[in-house]
Structure 1
Amino acid sequence: MKALLLTEGSSSIGHGHITRCLSLYQAFETLGHEPFLLVAGDSSVESLLKDKNHRIFDWHKNWKTLIEKIEDYNVVVVDSYLASEEFYQEISKRVKRKLYIDDYKRIDYPSGIVLNGGVYAYELAYPQKMGLKYLLGPRYIPLRSAFWKVKRRNIRQKAKRILITFGGDDSKNMTPKVLKSLREHFKDLEFLVVVGKGFRNIEEISALADKQVNLFEGLSAEGMRELMLLADIAISAGGQTTYELARVGTPAVLVAVAENQLLNCKGWHNIGFAFYAGWWEDKDIIEKVITHTESIMDYKVREKMAKVGKKTVDGKGALRVVKELTKD
């Protein structure tokens, strides 16, 4: 089958949607289908799409032209916060197999399949409608193929490394703030700091690098997986990365840097995989990050949190979704 994946991403809005769609792209390929990515984005997304069949195109502004060609595809996936309800209606009328990725019950979706792989998905009480099916919860969360199979984690008695990752752009400039404070507080720990292509604060972060601080830029999915396994604790934004952390069992302290991350952060906190430190603008956010990090230093706490994460996310979500979409 030919599958069209429509999404968006840029240095200003981040790359989470693209990462999810790449996960489904890999699942389509693995199961013998022909995926194509159409991305409304800027130059910051090009490295993510390397070696993938794709086009950078502002389909939001040109969707009526796109609709005329939509019937060339057997399957259409839409992962967007910007697409209009009218657009979804047109997709629903013209394509038999359609999937809408949702995070917070954004619109009244037409017939098709709605995917919300969030740990909080069942709490949203989606409306039951004729012709509308739901795939809800982490069982269906799409992860990149590097996270489909993960080696066993070694939980050290004493924590040695902290991973700091705030997405592909760190638009709220959290990385240097968190790194500077944690480095001063935990003087005997090593810091693994992920720098994304969309970062505008690389010079500020690089100035903090020393034998205690290691920077990693342009990581592949496999590289990110190995870094997560190497770390004992992660300080992270509250988006898609949290599911990869759960998959490898890296306990986390989460900071919400966008409103669409709030449910996710609180959901992980409630089930016991992560501590939610708060909203990025909170006056005491750094103090809370430090306090929660100190709590996770305890071996028993890390062991328990790691088990919760790995039990919640098994990595097979993308394959389950594609099988559901393409079954007869």
Structure 2
Amino acid sequence: MVLFLTEYFRLNGLGHLRRCIAFSELFESKGIKKQILVNTDHEDADVFHTDIKQQNWLVHKQLETRYDAIIIDSYRAQAADYEHFKQYTNHLVAIDDDNRIEYPSGCIIYNGGLGGLIYQYDPNRFKKILAGPEYALLRKEFRENREEKKINQNLERILITMGGSDPLHLTSKLIQFYHAEFPSSQLDVIIGPGFTDFKEEEFIHVPTLKIYKNLDARSMCDLMIKVDLCITAGGQTIYELGKLGIPFIVIQTAENQLGNISGLVKSGVIESFINPSMGDFLKSLSQLNQKLADVSIRQNMSTKLKTIFQNKSLDIVGSILN
């Protein structure tokens, strides 16, 4: 049995939960049972699977048994918490995005993404280090071989997805902006379960707008493959877009996304990104739109993404348990 300890709160964390679900599917594919505990303030039953238990594991720390592995995906857990759970397993895995804290010696570090290209981990301190975009965790719907993405001449469909909660409340601004910039393009907009101020009725005058809520992984994958450009936050979604080869513009909506974004720059996928706190970000966004309107630029980006995200996630289970 493998235990996952993660969190999902109104303002952040849906990416954590999705990442742990994708991680757990890898163990299930090997016939290994799993359990997921989520520390959350969210009561929306549509967000959770029936086999995910809501529990504040940072408070209720006592476990009833030992586990083959314990995998922690958290921005609240401190070094002492990792040390505590280490006693319940021989394989403690710390999922890290930005070298957040000093993790216990002898644990396994997992930074399966572009941040793995940026941060340096001490190989003498940790049992194993699994880092880099080839270890990006993808839900099984995205790991499967998909139809080849066709890059269209024009930006006919634009997807806007600001994560599970849109902490900076950018979605409404982006709808208005893209409707003005590309009035004939279809705008596909995903509204996450943690959105608090989005008012759909404000956009009844936008005939090209289509809004989606509570998309499962299959529906999300099917939608992504149809769009010509995605405007996305810098979290887990960029790996799913990368695997499919969907061109995108990144908007940094949280500090912990900087590792991912820096990795995109270092790998040559993007030259710049949008930081909404710096200057007139819509002007910068307009400049990126003009660049990515060029079909050859988008084709080159799509090719780079599919090359970088050669998925090796199925190797993770053996690396952790052996």
Q: By the TM > 0.5 criterion, same fold?
A: yes
Counterpart in the other structure of 2:176: 180
Q: Does 1:15 align with 2:14?
A: yes
Letter in 2 for 1:25: S
1:206-232 Cα distance to aligned partner (Å, 9 max, x none): 422532111111101111111111111
Q: Distance in 2 between matches of 1:77 and 1:45?
A: 24
Q: 1:28 to 1:14 in 2, by over 3 A?
A: same
Counterpart in the other structure of 1:207: 202
Q: Does 1:95 align with 2:94?
A: no
Q: CA deviation at 1:267?
A: 2.0
Q: Does 1:109 align with 2:110?
A: no
Are the equivalent residues in 2 in contact too, given 1:253–1:275 (CA < 8 A)?
no
Q: CA deviation at 1:42?
A: 2.3
Bigger shift: 98-107 or 276-285?
Answer: 276-285
Q: CA deviation at 1:277?
A: 3.0
Q: Distance in 2 between matches of 1:325 and 1:33?
A: 13
Q: Distance in 2 between matches of 1:201 and 1:275?
A: 32
Counterpart in the other structure of 1:135: 130
Q: Distance in 2 between matches of 1:191 and 1:131?
A: 46
- What SS class does the counterpart of residue 165 from structure 2 fall into? coil
Are the equivalent residues in 1 in contact too, given 2:118–2:259 (CA < 8 A)?
no
In the alignment, which of 113, 116, 137 is matched to residue 118 of structure 1? 113
Paired residue total: 319
Are the equivalent residues in 2 in contact too, given 1:236–1:242 (CA < 8 A)?
yes
Q: 1:74 to 1:218 in 2, by over 3 A?
A: same
Are the equivalent residues in 1 in contact too, given 2:166–2:194 (CA < 8 A)?
yes
Q: Does 1:229 align with 2:225?
A: yes
Counterpart in the other structure of 1:86: 80
Q: Distance in 2 between matches of 1:36 and 1:276?
A: 39
1:13-39 Cα distance to aligned partner (Å, 9 max, x none): 231111110101111111101111000
TM-score (norm 2): 0.94
RMSD over aligned CA atoms reads 1.7
Q: Does 1:191 align with 2:190?
A: no
Are the equivalent residues in 2 in contact too, given 1:14–1:167 (CA < 8 A)?
no
Q: Distance in 2 between matches of 1:54 and 1:124?
A: 31
Counterpart in the other structure of 1:323: 318
Q: CA deviation at 1:322?
A: 1.8
Alignment of 1:26-105 (within 5 A): 26-44=25-43, 46-51=45-50, 53-63=51-61, 65-66=62-63, 69-71=64-66, 73-105=67-99
Q: 1:234 to 1:206 in 2, by over 3 A?
A: farther
1:273-309 Cα distance to aligned partner (Å, 9 max, x none): 3454332222311111121022111110000000111
- What SS class does the counterpart of residue 138 from structure 2 fall into? coil
Bigger shift: 130-139 or 33-42?
Answer: 130-139
Bigger shift: 189-198 or 268-277?
Answer: 268-277
Are the equivalent residues in 2 in contact too, given 1:246–1:273 (CA < 8 A)?
no
Letter in 1 for 2:320: L
Q: Does 1:257 align with 2:220?
A: no
Letter in 1 for 2:69: V
Bigger shift: 275-284 or 157-166?
Answer: 275-284
- What SS class does the counterpart of residue 43 from structure 1 fall into? coil
Q: Distance in 1 between matches of 2:118 and 2:307?
A: 19
Q: 1:275 to 1:206 in 2, by over 3 A?
A: farther
- What SS class does the counterpart of residue 153 from structure 2 fall into? coil
Q: CA deviation at 1:312?
A: 1.1
Q: Structure 1: any 5+ residue segments left out of the alignment?
A: none
Letter in 2 for 1:57: Q
Give the share of equivalent positions with the same residue, in percent: 29
Alignment of 1:276-315 (within 5 A): 276-315=272-311
1:132-189 Cα distance to aligned partner (Å, 9 max, x none): 2100101111111110012211111222111000001112111111110111111121
Are the equivalent residues in 1 in contact too, given 2:12–2:164 (CA < 8 A)?
no
- What SS class does the counterpart of residue 214 from structure 1 fall into? strand
Q: 1:47 to 1:273 in 2, by over 3 A?
A: farther
Are the equivalent residues in 1 in contact too, given 2:160–2:188 (CA < 8 A)?
yes
Q: 1:279 to 1:131 in 2, by over 3 A?
A: closer
Q: Does 1:153 align with 2:149?
A: yes
Letter in 2 for 1:56: Q
Q: CA deviation at 1:202?
A: 2.9
Q: Structure 2: any 5+ residue segments left out of the alignment?
A: none
- What SS class does the counterpart of residue 230 from structure 1 fall into? coil
Q: CA deviation at 1:45?
A: 5.8
Q: 1:3 to 1:303 in 2, by over 3 A?
A: same
Q: CA deviation at 1:70?
A: 4.7
